[in-house]
Each structure stands twice: as structure tokens, then as C-alpha cells.
Structure 1
Amino acid sequence: MDTQSFSANPVIEKATNTSVVTRILRQLHTSNRLILMLYPLTLLLGQLYQFGPNEPTYFASKRNIINVLFVKRGWLWTAIAYFILLAYRLSLPASSLVATKPRYRLSRMIARFLVATLYWVVFTQWFFGLPIMDRVFVFTGGKCNGGVQIQDSLVNVSSATCRSVGGTWLGGHDPSGHTFLLIHSSLFLWYELSPFLDEFLTIYRAGRNDSKSRKSILVALPTHLKLIIALLILWWWMFLMTCIYFHSFFEKISGLIWAYVEVVLVYMIFRHLL
């Protein structure tokens, strides 16, 4: 066979080029598609709200109690929710559908949590100096202005350091850290939670005809899962408030895109490794 003509075959090239896309699409079950659509649609909803009589509310202040106690410690609360999910996983019988899936062995679940944590760290906290979000800001011409205690030009100062010395970000493109954190945390929890919800719903539907076990779905839902869903609702609400009151549209778009990168890598492209 002519190797050159084989490699130049447009059908073969097209199949090769679309293999990654096909792999991604295969992972997008209906529930996952809905979740992936939720946050871009919420962002658009927040933008539309700004065209109305946008009167300040309690959530327009960064000092609101939910922002201070929850969002500012967002990954800590996400980690707590995930450990609750791990505890629920350990409580399941060995015959459970989720428990029989290799992907939901405890070791692989912990590995995915560590990857998600590392991604949060390098984007928001530290990446061989400035975190990625601050590097984007500096690279696009931004700098810290007004921090008199710092001796250098303040160009390579992190956002946290800038705020701590009374400075402010000026210029540049500042990816929305709140947008990134809330979406990254939410997508991570949704993707980890979804198979547990699927199994619960399967069992719940199978028992609906049994009058002795006929309960409302909220009563039947295990407490572990209720707590995680409650946090996800809170994260969604605070993301909506961010969309309405803080950052420019494109700063929120960039925060959203960076949050989706980890989902594509971990849950679609490298799904069989983690």
C-alpha cells in the first residue's frame, strides 16, 4: 500500500482530527450538558439584569456575610463537601453500582480532588511566583498602584499583596477570581456527585410503587447529598450576584473559560486516567 497516499487521505485525517472532539462529546450525557450550560446562561442572565433598574442590594457589597464566610473560603467549603461525598461513598455497600465502577474507587476520587485543588492553587494562589490569574493581569499591562510599602515598581505583586498594602489593580485584564472559583468548585462537585444522584434516582423510581417506601424525593435523598446540593445552590446564587454586580463581562468570560478547562481535561480528555 502507498503509505504517502494513505496518510494524505482526507477521510483518515478528518477522523484523526475529530477523535478528541468525539471523545469529549461521548462524555456529555444529558445531565452533564445541562450543568455545562447552566453557568454561561447564568452569566448572560446577570448581564441582562443590568439593563433593568439595577438598584444596589445587600449582595452588591463585598462585605456581605455569605461572601466573607463562604466565598472567600470557597475551596475550603468545597473540600468539606467533597469529603462528605467520600464518606457517603464509603458507606455504600460493595454491590452498589457506583462502588463497582473503577472510576469511583477511593484512590481515584482522591486523585481527582488533588488535581482540582492543584488547578485552583496555580490559577488563584501561586504558580512559580504570581498565580496564573495575576500573570494574565500583568501580561496585559496591569499593575498595582498605591502600595507605598513596596519598594519595586509593583508590577509583579500579586493581587492579594496589592490589597494588603492598600493598593489597587489598574489597567490590564483582570480575570474574575470569583467567577473562576464558583464555577470551578461547582463543576467539580457536580461531576463527582452526578453518578451518586443517578443511582439514588434509579433506586427511588424503582420503589415508588411500594406504598411502604413512598416518600417525597427530598425526604428520601440522603443527608450527605442534600448538604452538597445545598452548597451548590449557594455557589450558583453567589455566581449570579457576581454576574450582576462585579467585574466586566469579558473578565467574567475569562474566569468562566479557565474554570471549564479543568473539566474538559479531567472529565473528558483524560477521563480514563483519573
Structure 2
Amino acid sequence: MEYIDRCAAFLKPFLVSDRVRRAMPLGLLSLMLGGSLLKDWAPVPETYMSNKRNLINLYFVKFAWAWTLILLLPFISITNYHVTRNIMAVAQRLSTLLVGTAIWYTCTGVFLHIEDLTGSCYRSPSLDLLHQEHSNKLQCQKAGGFWDGFDISGHSFLLSYCALMIAEETAVMHSVKTSQDPRLHRVINSLFLALSGLTMIWLWMFFTTAIYFHDFSQKFFGTLVGISAWYGTYRYWYLTPLSPGLPPQRTTLSFQKSNRSL
């Protein structure tokens, strides 16, 4: 258990830091741009990660939102209750996950619709002979054809959004003081380590996507949507009263209590 505490203490300055959170959107854009430049101008040799059927892609990235949800649900519940001691405040903060689910579902649906609207079905990967009778990607693929449309990178969108969301939610660690409760301390640190590990996987796979897959414009729009979803929620809507709100901070709570007592 001491190992978990040491690892958590080592990672907190990186994931929980306000400076890191502010720099992460620009860092994601830089990773996307750097990886895209490598892909176009100095292609990286094919590796295990360039195969779409690599284990990380199959068992983590394909279920990126589910993994993020599974870990954030107990983390938000336990840490927010520990700080606020208010069930209603915890329920309000958990609605952040409903908002995230709606964003994920809506954006991926829009991406698929755009690909259908902008694409055509071809008989072979060489894109020389059209299948005129197939009007969307699903019909085309069922007929054994190849659909060529504007395929906005769902990986670039979702992995950037998940990484930014985890960074925002783990900011509550600034206010979590569990030294007097070893069991709670262990649980929260374990969840924090799992979220930290998940963030590293998301960032690595985001960079891998930039190096091996999609055109630059497809990755750019995907990343832009992910950052915009984060900005529209955590930097705008969640600052207003009628919203899930931001992770609680002890300093803010103390200020509010002192104001009520005046």
C-alpha cells in the first residue's frame, strides 16, 4: 500500500497541477500536429501499434468512454462526498457523466452522418469504379464495397475529451485530506492511480492515431471538437448555477460557509 501512496504522490503534481490542466489543450493540438507531420513527411515504420487490431485499441480505445465512465463514477462519488458531505451536491456533480455521455453519443452520430453525406461507394480500394446504388457507408460495406467520405477522427475527439475531463475531475485531489482514514486514503489513491494510468493510455493512443491514421484535416476537426466540448462545459457552462458545477474546493466551501454565518 505504501507503493500506491508513493506513486500517487509522484503523479499528483503532473495530473492535478493547474498549470498542466491549462496547458493540456495546447499540448493535445501539438501532439496531433507533430504526429501528422511525421505521418506526411517522415512516415514512421509500421509497428504493432499501426495495426488497428492491437490489444490496446481493441480493449481500451474501442471502449474509451466506458473505461472513463467506470473509473470516474466512483472517484467523483467518493471524493466529492468526502469534501462536501452533501449527497445532493454529489448527485449534481455526477450529472457531469450524463453530460459527457450525451456529448460522446451526439458527436459520434454527427461524425457518421457527415461521412455518409460526403462519401461515395466504390467497388475497390483504388476508388476507380462507383457503386451508384449504395447511398451510405453501412450499405456499401454490406455489399463488399469501400466507402470514401470525410471521416472525422472519432479517436482524436474522444481521447482528447476524455483526457481533459479526467484532468478536470482529478483537480479535487487538491482538497482531499484522508490521512486520518487509511482505508479511504487507499481507495482514493487507487482510483487516482487508475485514472492517471488511463490518461497516459489515452494520450499515447491519441499520438498513435496522429502518427498512423486519418488525414490531417480529419484529426484536426476531431481534436477541435474534443477540446471545444471540454471548453464549452468546464470553462463556460459549469461556471454557471444551472449546471453540474466544477469539482469542489475546500477553500471555496469554507468561503461560502463563512458568508452564510455573517
Q: Tell me the distance in 2 between the aligned counterparts of 1:66 and 1:164.
A: 27
Aligned residue number for residue 5 of structure 1: none
Task: Give the letter aligned to residue 105 of structure 2.
Answer: V
- The structure 1 residue matched to 2:33, chosen from 19, 44, 67, is 44
The structure that has the greater radius of gyration is 1
Quick one: structure 1 residues 185 and 168, their matched pair in 2 at CA, closer, same or farther if it must change by over 3 Å?
A: farther
The answer on 1:180 being equivalent to 2:157 is yes
Alignment RMSD (CA, Å): 3.0
| Structure with a larger share of its residues in helix | 2
- The structure 2 residue matched to 1:261, chosen from 218, 228, 253, is 228
SS of match in other structure, 2:100: helix
The answer on 1:113 being equivalent to 2:103 is no
Quick one: structure 1 residues 38 and 220, their matched pair in 2 at CA, closer, same or farther if it must change by over 3 Å?
A: farther
- TM-score using structure 1 length: 0.67
- The structure 2 residue matched to 1:153, chosen from 121, 133, 140, is 133
Is contact 1:145–1:154 with CA below 8 Å preserved after alignment? Answer: no
Is contact 2:21–2:164 with CA below 8 Å preserved after alignment? Answer: no
Quick one: structure 1 residues 144 and 114, their matched pair in 2 at CA, closer, same or farther if it must change by over 3 Å?
A: farther
The answer on 1:244 being equivalent to 2:211 is yes
Q: Provide structure 1 residue ranges, at least 5 long, that are not aligned to the other structure.
A: 1-28, 125-130, 208-218
Aligned residue number for residue 75 of structure 1: 65
Is contact 2:65–2:162 with CA below 8 Å preserved after alignment? Answer: yes
SS of match in other structure, 1:169: strand
Aligned residue number for residue 4 of structure 1: none
Q: Tell me the distance in 2 between the aligned counterparts of 1:113 and 1:230.
A: 19
Q: Percent identity?
A: 27
Give the 5 Å matches for 1:211-222.
222=189
Quick one: structure 1 residues 111 and 220, their matched pair in 2 at CA, closer, same or farther if it must change by over 3 Å?
A: closer
SS of match in other structure, 2:135: coil
Task: Give the letter aligned to residue 197 of structure 1.
Answer: M
Aligned residue number for residue 198 of structure 1: 174
Aligned residue number for residue 111 of structure 2: 133
Which structure 1 residue ranges, 4+ long, deviate > 6 Å from structure 2? Answer: none
Question: What's the CA shift for 1:155?
Answer: 2.2
* Greater relative contact order (CA < 8 Å, ≥ 6 in sequence): 2
- TM-score using structure 2 length: 0.70
* Deviations, residues 135-157 of structure 1 (Å, cap 9, x unaligned): 22233x3134459xxx9933244
Q: Tell me the distance in 1 between the aligned counterparts of 2:77 and 2:142.
A: 38
Quick one: structure 1 residues 165 and 81, their matched pair in 2 at CA, closer, same or farther if it must change by over 3 Å?
A: farther
The answer on 1:235 being equivalent to 2:205 is no
* Deviations, residues 92-145 of structure 1 (Å, cap 9, x unaligned): 2xxx3xx2799x922222211101101111122xxxxxx200222233x31344
Q: Tell me the distance in 1 between the aligned counterparts of 2:81 and 2:235.
A: 27
Q: Tell me the distance in 2 between the aligned counterparts of 1:144 and 1:110.
A: 43
State the aligned residue count: 211
Question: What's the CA shift for 1:45?
Answer: 2.3
Question: What's the CA shift for 1:53?
Answer: 5.7
Task: Give the letter aligned to residue 112 of structure 2.
Answer: D
Q: Tell me the distance in 2 between the aligned counterparts of 1:270 and 1:220.
A: 30
Quick one: structure 1 residues 145 and 53, their matched pair in 2 at CA, closer, same or farther if it must change by over 3 Å?
A: closer
Q: Provide structure 2 residue ranges, at least 5 long, that are not aligned to the other structure.
A: 1-17, 125-130, 180-185, 244-262
